[in-house]
């Protein structure tokens, strides 16, 4: 009869395999009656990161009849206060920490093999592209669970084809024409691991790009001031006006009105030439520029697009 019972117990172990302690009754105050036994309990998953929830699992189902299980968690050999359940939440450990768990089952203390918390690769959460001062620039947000310093690599594409030699966070918009679709693939590295590439927003150089139709004034005002309202045809959506190049003190407002006062120290009889470049960009990334020159005597020179 005893032999039959032993055979049935062995079969039960083979059938059930490993199981989680979550469903077991947990009594943290239970005291082991014998020496601790290494093995019989393990931490899952064995490859864990700083943002992983750890779980203690029995390696055999030999405790089916037990109604008492108590857990104790240790990080770098120091017991984690208040951690008496079969799980250990993130925040109690970090990259490089050694974690082990002990559990008292049927009066026997079981000790797991320790695991080491692995490095968490960084993750890019946002990559946007925008036209800024003649450049297409990428702005990035990224997270790293280990708070490691992050560096970025960039690969630029035009219509799906890599742009050779361009590895910076921005690229000269003058390289592209109307109809081109430009974006970047960005990867983040913490020195140990690299994230999956993330594609930025695309900049489409619209075929209906804004066209500057106005001409700068040819003379200065009586108070030696320069005022010019930029006028535009075509373009899609709201327009953005900016001065790519301008003499000191020249400004342009959101509606494209340019104002500038000739510096008082510039002699009326000693004409000096100043160059200015205005750019207008629409919501689709289409843009155009206009360059003109201003002399400080009586004329604002010719303009060209």
Q: How confident is the model at residue 297 (pLDDT cuts 50, 70, 90)?
A: low
pLDDT exceeds 90 at position 97: yes
Angle (nearest 5°) at CA 21 between 38 and 47: 65
Distances (CA, A) of 114 to 17, 194, 218, 278, 299: 21, 26, 81, 65, 81
Task: Kindly state the average pLDDT of the residues 231-256.
Answer: 89
Domains of the chain: 16-116 (2.60.40.2700), 123-204 (2.60.40.10), 211-304 (2.60.40.10)
From 227, 229, 256, select the one nearest 240 (Cα to Cα): 256
The model carries a pTM of: 0.54
User: In the structure encoding, which two tokens stand for residue 57, read together?
Assistant: 């699992």
Does the pLDDT of residue 305 top 80, yes or no? no
Distance (Å, whole) CA 110 – CA 273: 86
CB-based contact 212:198 (threshold 8 Å)? no
The structure tokens listed for 35 are 């020496």
When pLDDT is averaged across residues 102-113 and rounded to a whole number, the result is: 86
Which has the closest alpha carbon to 54: 20, 12, 23? 20
Give the residue from 151, 152, 141 showing the smallest Cα distance to 201: 141
State the pLDDT confidence band at 81, using cuts at 50, 70 and 90.
very high
More confident residue, 35 or 47: 47
């Amino acid at each position: 009869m005893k032999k039959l019972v032993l055979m049935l117990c062995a079969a039960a172990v083979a059938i059930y395999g490993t199981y989680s302690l979550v469903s077991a009754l947990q009594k943290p105050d239970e005291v082991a009656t014998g020496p601790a036994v290494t093995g019989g309990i393990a931490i899952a998953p064995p490859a864990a990161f700083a943002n992983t929830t750890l779980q203690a699992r029995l390696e055999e189902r030999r405790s089916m009849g037990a109604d008492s299980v108590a857990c104790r968690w240790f990080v770098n050999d120091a017991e984690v206060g208040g951690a008496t359940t079969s799980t250990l939440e993130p925040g109690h450990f970090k990259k490089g920490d050694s974690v082990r768990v002990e559990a008292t089952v049927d009066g026997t203390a079981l000790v797991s093999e320790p695991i080491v918390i692995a490095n968490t690769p960084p993750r890019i959460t946002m990559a946007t592209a925008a036209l800024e001062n003649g450049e297409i620039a990428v702005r990035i947000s990224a997270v790293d669970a280990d708070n490691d310093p992050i560096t970025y690599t960039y690969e630029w594409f035009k219509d799906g084809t890599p742009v050779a030699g361009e590895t910076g966070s921005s690229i000269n918009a003058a390289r592209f024409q109307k109809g081109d679709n430009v974006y970047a693939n960005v990867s983040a590295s913490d020195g140990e691991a690299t994230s999956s590439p993330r594609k930025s927003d695309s900049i489409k150089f619209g075929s209906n790009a804004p066209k500057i139709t106005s001409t700068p004034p040819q003379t200065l005002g009586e108070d030696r001031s320069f005022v010019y309202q930029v006028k535009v045809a075509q373009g899609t959506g709201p327009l953005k006006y900016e001065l790519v190049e301008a003499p000191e003190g020249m400004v342009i407002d959101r509606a494209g009105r340019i104002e500038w006062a000739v510096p008082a120290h510039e002699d009326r009889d000693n004409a000096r030439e100043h160059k200015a470049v205005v750019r207008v960009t629409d919501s689709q990334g289409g843009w155009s520029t206009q360059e003109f020159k201003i002399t400080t005597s009586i004329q604002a020179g010719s303009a060209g697009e």
